[in-house]
Structure 1
């Protein structure tokens, strides 16, 4: 059997990043022995990934050097080895010390590539890349065994930058979708779930990409308030530390300016508790990709939101979701008529999500074939 190696380094407090890392590792366990270097991961992140309680995952104590020596030993003994890079969205520029460190890592990857290690980058999207970062990603793409983008928009963007990729497949978060009749609830979700969803709307936004975002979201809340019954509860939810301050601000704004029951919810670093919360909510309005996918997996109606070029991964993902008809809210326009049509839309993505999950499984079969 092959061996797969992981060394997670990400936004450890971000539930969405924890989710895609967990599912990436889980999918690999179906095809190989799995080894995870958890030396850079906080304890709560390890718990979220269920590293220490899983019989299918071997946790390596001793750091990245020990991981690399283990890979070297196995590949020299003739075993097929796979090494996975971090999934998620890539954007912006690299410079200074970060620039140097990324090239050092790249040269290590070249060394493993020459030894026959299959390097994989799965569940990736690209947007707004600057010159130095483009150059590195373009070079690195040439040595990847599997470079799997998570949406067609990223594929088109990569084509324009001459970045090589091997395929386009659904986001790793689709692996949590389950047939409702077959779903087994964990102890944590059972504690937070009710028998039925309450009629409510949950707002969850990142507002750190553009100075206009916070004020635009406030306007959006006021428009939706006009369009929905007063007995509909509003939640203001954060699952990323960097969103806490802005979501609290939106909650306080709503307490003062709209006449309805509002509540602030903060769940950092716990996938199951987040899913339990979403199980009680009927609709999500968000520009956070994994807030949308996690809530969609438990039957929430979705209102994806975007601003200019800042949320291409959301647009790309839903454009790739054949059969999903609900349009996204363009926050640069805030058309009341369009928002109303989205807010009353009855579409959900559970069935479509199950199809995406099967595509994701097929992608992993290709990686290990």
Structure 2
């Protein structure tokens, strides 16, 4: 890929779920894509050091990253100053899942931030949002997004369900782009022996979810022979307690492990042993699939529409199982189509290239 970085400068703010390895992954992949076309400034003032280092890992890629240490005020000052010098300046909103309603306080804060964005736009700063998904947006959340979209040069979302949701709200969408995690397919994963069954679940959406997930896992474990190691992997810190509980519950089996993943590469190492991954976390499924596991989304049809939509988009709808349906036998396991994943990575490249042309 041709390096066209000289005239472009991009800004990002690391303001996300710092406990979530999946969020680190998609932001790292966005940085890697941008780095071929632009010098990068990133606001790490709110981010823990370990998270920043995980995201800002451009090993093997073009470009370097300069740190913003004094927060949003410095972002505003530097972006405007650089734009006034004649360089093209871009501000990238982070790829993420956005849903629900905003409180009155969050709405007021968001309105002030949007005013700051409008001020930056007056001086030529271009706003870009690649790889977002939206669900269940309330009135205030929709109003904030509508205001921001007036400034946004390109707004590409990561699943067809989001496209429909934005159409219902009459909010602008410029098209689809694959989830940023498909940037992984720019390189092949390392090969590892696969003898284990992996599980990774969130249960932070109510007691009913916790009970349903535990019952489902009971059903799968009952069908696993003792020769299969069981890996209970947590890549989000609020999942630790439940995954540790499951590992302890099945501790009578010959080979059961609770594995706490703290970084992107560490997470890949843990999924590398798995022949299948059962999860209701999108990036647990996609990271496991990248490492060669068959991804099985275990979903609530109302709460996990993003996962349902993305797995439908990538041709793996047949792998989806409902968490409330206790399996009489293990679901049929299909592996991700790596050719489609290489194509998805190419589409990410094309989308980022389009931003800078």
Q: State the TM-score, normalizing by the size of structure 1.
A: 0.89
Correspondence for 1:190: none
Correspondence for 1:296: 289
Q: 1:1-369 counterparts in 2 under 5 A?
A: 1-50=7-56, 55-178=63-186, 180=188, 196-255=192-251, 259-268=253-262, 270-321=263-314, 323-324=315-316, 326-337=318-329, 340-342=330-332, 345-369=333-357
The alpha-carbon distance between structure 1 residues 52 and 358, as it changes in their structure 2 partners (threshold 3 A), is closer
The Cα shift of 1:76 comes to 1.8
The Cα shift of 1:179 comes to 5.1
How many residue pairs align between the two structures?
A: 349
| Structure 1: distance between partners of 2:177 and 2:15 | 22
The Cα shift of 1:325 comes to 5.6
Secondary structure class of the residue paired with 2:267: helix
| Structure 1: distance between partners of 2:106 and 2:31 | 26
| Structure 1: distance between partners of 2:170 and 2:355 | 22
| Structure 1: distance between partners of 2:249 and 2:57 | 40
Q: State the TM-score, normalizing by the size of structure 2.
A: 0.92
The Cα shift of 1:64 comes to 2.4
| Structure 2: distance between partners of 1:17 and 1:161 | 26
Secondary structure class of the residue paired with 1:198: coil
User: CA deviation digits over 1:86-132, x for unaligned, max 9?
Assistant: 22100112113322211111111112223321101111001122221
Q: CA RMSD in A?
A: 2.0
| Structure 1: distance between partners of 2:322 and 2:309 | 14
Is the contact between residue 178 and residue 354 of structure 1 (CA under 8 Å) also seen in structure 2? yes
The Cα shift of 1:320 comes to 1.2
Is the contact between residue 52 and residue 59 of structure 1 (CA under 8 Å) also seen in structure 2? no
The alpha-carbon distance between structure 1 residues 37 and 51, as it changes in their structure 2 partners (threshold 3 A), is farther
Is the contact between residue 299 and residue 350 of structure 1 (CA under 8 Å) also seen in structure 2? no
**Bigger shift: residues 50-59 or 10-19:** 50-59
| Structure 2: distance between partners of 1:260 and 1:129 | 46
| Structure 1: distance between partners of 2:212 and 2:20 | 24
Secondary structure class of the residue paired with 2:284: helix
| Structure 2: distance between partners of 1:347 and 1:52 | 29
